[in-house]
Structure 1
Amino acid sequence: MAGTNSERELLAEGPVIILVEPQLGENIGMVARAMANFGLWELRLVNPRDGWPSEKARSAASKADHVIDATQVYDTLEAAIADLNFVYATTARERDGFKPVRSPVVAASTLRAKFSGGERTGILFGRERWGLTNEEVALADEIVTFPVNPAFASLNIAQAVLLMSYEWMKSGMEDLAETRFTASEQRPATKDHLIGLFEQVEEALDARGYFRPEGKKPRMIENLRAVLSRRAFTEQEISVLRGVFATFDRYSRNNPKGSVKSRSGDEDGGGDA
């Protein structure tokens, strides 16, 4: 039974759990069960291998039907995180140093503080066999990794979700008075705003021959996105940046006050975030 609306509102407090290309329905079900144990219910799937819905997932969820029934499926990771303001990527492998790396305890405290400030948050979990790609990690704000025995650093996806869900619940039992997030007067940007900035900058750079040689273009884009997503922008900050980048197409270097070469009819340089 999915529960009443008031019960679901109580359960909704917490980060969205996002599984990228999960393979087995049983694993999805165990993830749902782990989430339900610690008060999380919003599960999103990106291209599940065996499709959705899944009776194997429901069976493995052990009556966490409210999580299974509310699960949403997306074609792309960008779409799955578009409405979120802050996202963690879980990874066991060492990555380039663009992203801050946090422990589960610090990550849960950060998520709790951002939730208290009205932000929408999420945690990305990768494929059972090889996790998240560098491109997927680049879409997150920070990385969370688990302190496991280096001689046997093997967590399955349900275990990883269980650990983060537990730390989330535990963070709500502690006194966060000194670390509670103070909401900004400006609205935090969603990932959809940030992805729009990525696409605008990459299009402009591509037109100017920045991505050379061609074989290095994917890695150059990955590094660029990692740098641009290093801090949490507000909607207004994204708008300002897009307005700045838009002027690159409108004015030539030798004639900065010359005629406008408009891209989208926006005359004031304010951006279109």
Structure 2
Amino acid sequence: MTNLAEDPTASATTNAEGGGGGGALRCPPPAVVLVEPQLGENIGAAARAMANFGLADLRLVAPRDGWPSEKARAAASRADHVVDGARVFATTAEAVADLRFVYATTARTRGLPKVVVGPREAAATLRARAAAGQGTGILFGRERWGLMNEEIALADEIVTFPVEPAFASLNIAQAVLLMSYEWMASGLEAGALPTRGAVPAFDATPAPKAQLVGLMEHLEQALDEAAYFRSEDKRPAMVANLRAILQRAGFTEPEVKVLRGVVAALERRHEKRRRASGNE
């Protein structure tokens, strides 16, 4: 085994705790284990996907073209902390030796007696295990034929993606991206976005009826001046329809104020035109 980082686990933990997602993201993320990856570009793209969602512990099992890889660094698009912290192992068993719970990603269970779950359920399980102090990881197979039976046997459960059965094969980086996304999403509170924090709740409290009636009367007055009610005998029905529309919308106080401002702007424009016509 060749160790290319002094303490990548500490790096992964620091990254998880220091990210913008807040307290919900504080348990250590799973290790990402790429088994015999062939292309440096795929490794780099996987590292980028990990960094996007707060993962940093990248483990490589016998990469075909060796390590380190400048092609991987270029494809990682500045996810240098993931690339620099990557560790290389001779076998899959060595790569997962320190972990207590591992998922294998595969579209084919091959008759193995293992629980099969989707990525969302897997992410929730990984987070619960990590919160309990258990090291976790996810195995990703080779570009061409995925994981072998003996490698899947090292995993506790299988995770498979809800993809089109006739075209179920995913690129390694795509698979890493999907699992990394589900990992981060599983730790977010409803409506929270790490790059923005919690999304403020919209206050949908309806405006007081007095304000709504004021809007109705203001609009009706403006429409009178614009000669909207062309037929006096139909005016009551038209007014009733307008009031029903405004009532049904359930406008809030700020929305009523905005609409009053719109009506006032139209009134001023109408007044300017009327003055211009009078001056002529």
* Residue of structure 2 in register with 1:107 after alignment: 122
Q: Which amino acid aligns with 2:129?
A: K
- Note the 1:91-170 alignment, pairs <5 A: 91-170=106-185
Change (3 A) 1:111 1:65: same
Tell me how many residue pairs correspond in the alignment.
Answer: 172
* Residue of structure 2 in register with 1:72 after alignment: 87
Change (3 A) 1:58 1:139: same
Distance 2:61 2:11 in 1: 27
Distance 1:168 1:129 in 2: 25
Match of 2:15 among 1, 5, 11: 11
Task: Mark the structure with the bigger radius of gyration.
Answer: 2
Q: % of aligned pairs identical?
A: 70
* Residue of structure 2 in register with 1:47 after alignment: 62
Deviations 1:141-190 (A, max 9, x none): 00000000123223100000000000000000148xxxxxxxxxxxxxxx
SS in 1 for 2:161: coil
| TM superposition shift of 1:102 | 0.6
TM-score normalised to the size of structure 1?
0.60
Change (3 A) 1:134 1:8: closer
Q: Which amino acid aligns with 1:44?
A: R
TM-score normalised to the size of structure 2?
0.59
Change (3 A) 1:174 1:134: farther
Contact 2:12 2:57 in 1 (8 A): no
SS in 2 for 1:89: strand
Structure 1 alignment gaps of length 5 or more: 176-273
| TM superposition shift of 1:6 | 8.9
Change (3 A) 1:97 1:51: closer
SS in 2 for 1:17: strand
Q: CA RMSD in A?
A: 1.9
Contact 2:109 2:158 in 1 (8 A): no
Distance 2:12 2:35 in 1: 24
| Structure ranking higher in helix proportion | 2
Structure 2 alignment gaps of length 5 or more: 17-27, 191-280
| TM superposition shift of 1:96 | 1.2
